[in-house]
Amino acid sequence: MIRRRRPGAVAVRQLEGSVFIAPWIFGFLVFIAFPLGYSLSMSFQRVKITAGGIETTPVGLQYYREILLADGGLLYNDLLPFLRQVVIMIPVIVVFSLLVAILLNQRFLGRGFFRAVFFLPVIFSTGQIIQEFITQGEGTLGFVEEMDLGGLITTYLPSSWAVPMVNIISSFVLVLWYSGVQILLFLAGRQTIAKSVYEAARIDGADPWATFWKITLPGMTPFIGLNLIYTVVDLFTFPSNPIISKVNTQNYGLSSALAWIYFLIVLLFLGLVFFIFNRATRTGGAKRHVR
């Protein structure tokens, strides 16, 4: 009598993993992959909604040529100033979140309360609330107008960079509203560094400044990269994003083409962030190795 061979442990683990990941694959194919493919097909067609259904007429690359060549103002007039603001905003949010996370990791009275305060805006705020917050002129810093920092920045910087910088400074309180997740990630990253490393550094006579540069910052490098990615995606889906507001139009073909162009721009920006971050980490690691 031939005895059937039982599947090995590796096959069982692979089967279990496939079962657990199957709902995600199904959800991705139905709710993400299909809408993405459908919007891509609509970007090459003129879409008309009638009582009998959806009528489509192939137009090829017409909408892409209109956005990139014929009517460049639809994309460039709003995109370039927004990109300048994002370039300034990303390091501000990441550095601010890192410093706040280091402070909240210290032992002091009411530490749990302050941790909750910095994360509460993430729970209660939505895109509409943030938009209304900006519209009402809230979130500004009073001393910016009192000390005329905007005029000082405009005097020494080109207007193309001065305007987004002034906008960020004048609404710096909003940085708090968009730093909650980053602070949480940095807190988790800070707790992965063993206390024994800091104790050994203190025994060797290292001061807090040297400890930060030699231990804390290198240990937080993976979380800095993670927060860079999250911040880029978060800012490119900002409620007041001028490009997203132009995507929501009645011309479904033109809107789909604009959405795909914007999606490719976001991917290119993420690739640039990856490249700069990897070069910076490799250069820093090489310098520490030489020393």
Contact 141, 173 (CB under 8 A): yes
pLDDT of amino acid 1: 47
Contact by Cβ (8 Å): 36, 23? no
Burial class (CB in 10 A: 0-12, 13-18, 19+), 64: middle
What residue ranges of the chain have pLDDT lower than 70? 1-7, 70-74, 124-152, 156, 159-160, 164, 167-174, 239-240, 283-291
267 vs 274: CA distance, rounded Å: 10
Predicted confidence (pLDDT) per residue in 6-48, tens digit: 557 778 888 888 899 999 999 988 888 998 899 899 999 988 8
b or e along 70-96 (b: 16 or more beta carbons within 10 Å of the residue's beta carbon)? eeeebbeeebebbebbbebbbebbbeb
126 DSSP assignment: -
**Rounded to whole angstroms, how far apart are CA atoms 33 and 27?**
9
Give the separation between CA 139 and CA 92, rounded to whole angstroms.
16
The one-letter amino acid code at 128 reads Q
Q: What residues does 49 pair with on adjacent strands?
A: 54
Tens digits of residue pLDDT in 139-158:
566 656 666 666 667 776 77
**Location of structure tokens 């604009």:** 258
CB 133 within 8 A of CB 171: no
pLDDT value of position 249: 74
DSSP of 217-280: HHHTHHHHHHHHHHHHHHHHT-TT-HHHHHHSSS-HHHHHHHHHHHHHHHHHHHHHHHHHHHHH
pLDDT of residue 23: 92
The residue to which tokens 């809107």 are assigned? 255
For residues 269 and 104, is the Cβ–Cβ distance under 8 A?
A: no
Which CA distances in Å does 277 have to 85, 95, 285? 19, 14, 12
- Cβ 235 vs Cβ 89: under 8 Å: yes
Domain ranges for the chain? 9-62, 75-247
How far is residue 134's CA from residue 132's CA, in Å, rounded to a whole number?
A: 5
d(C-alpha 154, C-alpha 160), whole Å: 9
Instruction: Provide the token pair at 186.
Output: 């940095």
67 touches 75 (CB < 8 A): yes
pTM, two decimal places: 0.75
Q: Are 258 and 247 spatial neighbours (Cβ–Cβ below 8 Å)? A: yes
At the topology level, CATH places domain 75-247 in MetI-like fold (1.10.3720)
